[in-house]
Amino acid sequence: MTYNPASTRYENMPYRRCGNSGLKLPAVSLGLWHNFGHDTPHDVKRAMCQTAFDHGITHFDLANNYGPPAGSAEKAFGQILATDFHGYRDELIISSKAGYDMWPGPYGEMGSRKYLIASCDQSLKRMGLDYVDIFYSHRFDPDTPLEETMGALDRIVRSGKALYAGISSYNSEKTKEAVAILKDLGTPCLIHQPAYNILNRWVENDGLKDTLKDLGVGSIAFTPLAQGLLTSKYLGGIPSDSRMAQNKSLWEDQLSVPTLAAIKELNEMASGRDQTLAQMAIAWVLRNEGITTALIGASKPSQIIDCAGAVNNLSFTEAELSNIDRVAQDANINLWAKSSQSDNAPG
């Protein structure tokens, strides 16, 4: 059936300036890491993308390795672009990344010029695009000179394959170096993509959040819902259709007794704000404009509608914020903690 986007799609979603750039991003963005591979029916993927766009979510985040199998999320999104979003390309911000394991041999991962440029070309082919809006170095590579990785991003932008450059999971120190190199090359760093949520506060502890503000670089916080922990879904056990039940990068040991107790209290606080816990968790990430956009994932369209509703209340009182801090601190669930060095973290 032909898809016609909702005429109301720009009525409720705020669009926030990405750092010092001219680009505005929706307060809530959709990522296609999980549930866009061969394990999900194509109709569900289409319905999620359509629902997102209908609610003002103009930004879709991908990576070469999203699936399973790797590459299949980009292929599925390419089909959706052709069937549903045809004619709407200029209303969309589409990103992709390279850094994790993608193809065999020494040129299929990390941060070399060889890998990044070839991977960007492959992503464009899979999605049927001439360019992506943002192309990222997905993780810091300690074995490649940063000048080479940033030089590859600069080359990708200059050759018209991406409009902007970004980095993901780089720590504060490496971010400063990367941003300086990109600035010298004349391709400013648009955005940083770190993990960040109420239960994962490394961007605060590392100083990254302040660094980005000082440098005028935008930020897109991934896993704002701690992969679903910061929703009401695990309060009554582990639902059979959940990410945890499917062992997709979320395991039972991440739902410790203290974490579950914190989630219960947070859920009550959210009710007191007339929000779902998912909505409060997204609003928390976006508080004080500290982060440009919250990058959610979803397994069904109704979750996207719920998450988009977060924008109806983005402010917190000081008492609410200190209550959240009292109940929940960093829960040691950051799978990407070592990404700024070298590891095999997913995503």
Ligand X SMILES: NC(=O)c1ccc[n+]([C@@H]2O[C@H](COP(=O)([O-])OP(=O)(O)OC[C@H]3O[C@@H](n4cnc5c(N)ncnc54)[C@H](OP(=O)(O)O)[C@@H]3O)[C@@H](O)[C@H]2O)c1
List residues near ligand X by CB under 6 A: 31-34, 61, 138, 168-169, 193, 222-228, 231, 233, 242-243, 278, 295-299, 303, 306-307, 336, 347
CB of 138 to ligand X, least distance (A): 6
165 phi and psi, to 5 degrees? -110, 145
8 Å CB contact between 116 and 316: no
8 Å CB contact between 156 and 118: no
Alpha-carbon distance of 158 to 93, in angstroms, equals 18
Number of CB atoms found within 10 A of residue 319's CB: 8
| Nearest residue (CB) to ligand X, 152 versus 285 | 285
| Nearest residue (CB) to ligand X, 4 versus 255 | 255
CB of 230 to ligand X, least distance (A): 7
CB of 296 to ligand X, least distance (A): 4
Reported as half-sphere exposure (CB side, CA atoms, 13 A), residue 133 has a value of 19
CB of 4 to ligand X, least distance (A): 25
Alpha-carbon distance of 80 to 77, in angstroms, equals 5
Q: How big, in percent rounded to 5, are the helix, strand and coil portions of the chain?
A: 40, 15, 45
Q: What is residue 90's DSSP assignment?
A: G
CB of 305 to ligand X, least distance (A): 8
| Nearest residue (CB) to ligand X, 61 versus 133 | 61
Within 128-231, residue ranges assigned H as helices are 146-158, 172-185, 202-205, 208-215
Among 46, 103, 102, 55, CA closest to 78: 46
User: Is beta strand 28-31 parallel, antiparallel or unpaired with respect to 24-26?
Assistant: unpaired
| Nearest residue (CB) to ligand X, 159 versus 256 | 256
CB of 34 to ligand X, least distance (A): 5
Among 165, 162, 203, 212, CA closest to 184: 165
| Nearest residue (CB) to ligand X, 78 versus 224 | 224
CB of 270 to ligand X, least distance (A): 11
Give Cα separations from 208 to 5, 32, 241, 245 (angstroms). Answer: 37, 25, 35, 33
| Nearest residue (CB) to ligand X, 25 versus 225 | 225
| Nearest residue (CB) to ligand X, 7 versus 247 | 247
8 Å CB contact between 295 and 31: yes
| Nearest residue (CB) to ligand X, 101 versus 184 | 101
Tokens of 178: 């990367």
CB of 100 to ligand X, least distance (A): 8
